[in-house]
Structure 1
Amino acid sequence: MLNRVILIGRLTRDPELRYTPAGVAVTQFTLAVDRPFTSQGGEREADFIPVVTWRQLAETCANYLRKGRLTAVEGRIQVRNYENNEGKRVYVTEVIADNVRFLESSQSREGGNASGGGNMPEPPSYGGGGRGNSGNSGFSRNNNQDPFSGDGKPIDISDDDLPF
């Protein structure tokens, strides 16, 4: 059995960082992911997918991710349910992320050096939770097996590409 998902999209708002009663950090945000086709009216449509991160990855996402940032998320789909105040069963489908990659620097979003010049740092990659990352302390750099590895150049996407 396999439950893995990889998404690339833009945050619809800043992440929300909270802590459980036991003191474990948890962050929630929504990723807008374009559909690969246009509607009958010729407009692009998007799916808005809720993402949850835990522990150190949650704190890192809360510190560095902002609304509109292009982000790659790798994780698993989880469906949970609960009973609301009216006694109705509510189902929630979300992605539990164990790896998040920031695909553009904050400089390029703020109108900085977006032409790919010399002083733009390579966006970092942050992973967490499981999958044999021991000795890695949640931080990873480019490697040949990473599907999101790039050459450190900015991605040419305008604000018109945002679905919100």
Structure 2
Amino acid sequence: MRSAGGLTHVGPLAKAYMAELERRRNGMVDGKEAAAGEEREPGRQGGRLPELNEARVIGRIVNPPKTKEGSGARGDYKMARFVLALNRAYKDSLGKWVRETDFIPVVAWGAVAEAASKAGKGSALRVEGRIKTWQVEGKQYRWELKADLLEVLDLRAATAKTEAQGELLPN
């Protein structure tokens, strides 16, 4: 475990992610990307921190995605909803390893929804997007990850599904 810029992180993926956040933070002026040649004030921008709503997760699909197609004010659309299971492990106060699973609701639109609809239960996915929240009946808040990018990581599950459909994946 290492510390960088007041944040503690583990491993090369975290290191790459922190480098990307630092690059973005250094390029922000008043919460926006700095234009070429424009200087950025050190620290806070006019008393505000730049805003960032990004999520990157890797997990497995709990159940096959539920898809919906239709037409709306913006034209035809395709939507897919699914839940990702994210496993994590940590040591408790006694030094014993404990495994936990978080379940993340995901929604995808358009081409990302099309890609999600081809992934089956148990498929490993990398999803990038943003957190979207809304309030239900004036009381409870709900949230989901709106997927902007989806990558199937588990070729085994993808191969099994396409072979069952009579198709083959390219080598």
Q: Which TM-score bucket, shorter chain as reference?
A: 0.5 to 0.7
Instruction: From the superposition, tell whether residues 61 and 82 of structure 1 become closer, same or farther in structure 2 (CA, over 3 Å).
Output: same
* Rounded Cα–Cα distance in structure 2 between residues aligned with 1:38 and 1:67: 29
1:81 and 2:135 correspond: yes
The match for 2:90 is 37
* Structure 2 letter corresponding to 1:60: A
* Rounded Cα–Cα distance in structure 1 between residues aligned with 2:129 and 2:63: 20
The match for 1:135 is none
Q: % of aligned pairs identical?
A: 32
* Rounded Cα–Cα distance in structure 2 between residues aligned with 1:109 and 1:44: 29
Q: Is the CA contact 1:105–1:120 (under 8 Å) kept in the aligned structure 2?
A: no
Report the RMSD for the aligned CA atoms in angstroms.
Answer: 2.6
* Structure 2 letter corresponding to 1:104: D
The match for 1:60 is 115
Q: Is the CA contact 2:128–2:148 (under 8 Å) kept in the aligned structure 1?
A: yes
Whose strand fraction is larger, Structure 1's or Structure 2's? 2
The match for 1:128 is none
TM-score by length of structure 2 reads 0.55
Which segments of 5 or more consecutive residues in structure 2 lack a partner in the other structure? Answer: 1-50, 161-167
Whose helix fraction is larger, Structure 1's or Structure 2's? 2
* Structure 1 letter corresponding to 2:68: R
* Rounded Cα–Cα distance in structure 2 between residues aligned with 1:60 and 1:108: 11
Which secondary structure does the structure 1 equivalent of 2:52 belong to?
coil
Q: Is the CA contact 2:129–2:147 (under 8 Å) kept in the aligned structure 1?
A: yes
* Rounded Cα–Cα distance in structure 2 between residues aligned with 1:5 and 1:38: 24
* Structure 1 letter corresponding to 2:143: T
Q: Could you report, residue by residue, the CA deviation over 1:61-109 in whole angstroms, capped at 9, with x for unpaired residues?
A: 11x21110111000001111221xxxx6232111001000100114677
Which segments of 5 or more consecutive residues in structure 1 lack a partner in the other structure? Answer: 111-118, 123-164
Count of residue pairs the alignment pairs up: 109
* Rounded Cα–Cα distance in structure 1 between residues aligned with 2:170 and 2:100: 32
Deviation of 1:36 (Å): 3.5
Greater radius of gyration (CA): 2
Q: Is the CA contact 2:159–2:169 (under 8 Å) kept in the aligned structure 1?
A: no
The match for 1:91 is 141
